[in-house]
Amino acid sequence: MPILDSLVGPIASIIDKIIPDKEARDKAKIELIRLEGSQEMEAIQARLTAIVAEAQSKDPWTSRARPSFLYVIYILLLWALPMGVLAAFRPDTAQDIAKGMNAYLNGLPEPLYALFGTGYLGYTAARQWGKAKGSEK
């Protein structure tokens, strides 16, 4: 059970940060405590254990895959800055580029977006878990 104890604390901390409404936050924490001994929490623990194992892998391709994927997404989001500047000087060109990017992004399958969300949340939870255990800084 010590792994579960170290898991509940970081998840409660994440709940505090992402849910602004105090009442909703308290409900989420109560649900987390209810799940603590359930099969769902054991499944979450198993997934997080796999994520931590990937992050601690000696293989650089395995340990850096998830963060690298996140960096790609960050670059896509930051691309908005030069596009904004371009739009100020060449609005037609910026609009054509945006239409092309929208067509491309709308063509990507929905499971890829779900994979990103899962990877992002899993990476964040694993980092928080590692910090709580003291194995990461």
Per the structure, the complete domain to which residue 16 belongs is given by 2-133
DSSP string spanning 13-67?
Answer: HHHHHH---HHHHHHHHHHHHHHTTSHHHHHHHHHHHHHHHHHT-S-HHHHHHHH
Q: Is the pTM here over 0.95, yes or no?
A: no
- Chain segment 12-39, per-residue pLDDT in tens: 777 777 787 778 877 877 777 777 666 6
- Chain segment 89-129, per-residue pLDDT in tens: 999 999 999 899 889 888 888 888 888 777 777 767 766 76
Residue 2: per-residue pLDDT = 45
> Which of the two residues, 68 and 41, has the higher pLDDT score?
68
| pLDDT higher than 50, residue 1 | no
Q: Considering its fold, how many domains does the chain have in total? A: 1
